Amino acid sequence: MLAAARREAQVAANWYEGRRDGLGHEFLDTLAQALESIEAEPLRYAPPENIRTRRAIRCCPLRRFPYLVIYEIRADEIVVLAVAHGHRRPNYWQRRR
C-alpha cells in the first residue's frame, strides 16, 4: 500500500471514529476484508469507470462505506494506489501510477 493510500485510510477512520465510537475501527476492519479479497482474487473487480489505460488498475468498493480501494496488479505484486471516497475528487489518484 502506498503511503498516501495508508494516510487516506487513517484520515477516513479518524473521521468515522469522531462520529461514533468504534465506527473508525469498523471502517478499518472493512478495509482489511477488502484487501484480503483483493489478494485472494485480484481480477475479481472491474477497472474504475472512465479510466482508459493499459495498466491493470482495478477498483474494489468497500461494503457499508462510500470508499473505493484503487489498486494496480503488477507482475508479482498488488499495489494499493488509493483509498478514495467514491463521491469526492474523482480520479485524483491517477498521478500516483
pLDDT in tens, 31-42: 999 999 999 999
Whether the pLDDT of residue 63 is over 70: the answer is yes
Q: Write down the pLDDT at residue 15.
A: 97
| Segment 69-92, tens digit of pLDDT | 999 998 889 999 999 998 776 665
Please write the tens of the pLDDT for every residue from 3-24.
Answer: 999 999 999 999 999 999 999 9
At CA 53, angle to CA 69 and CA 75, rounded to 5?
A: 70
Domains defined for the chain, CATH in brackets: 3-88 (3.30.2310)
Closest to 29 measured CA to CA, from 76, 66, 65:
65
Q: Which pTM value belongs to this model?
A: 0.85
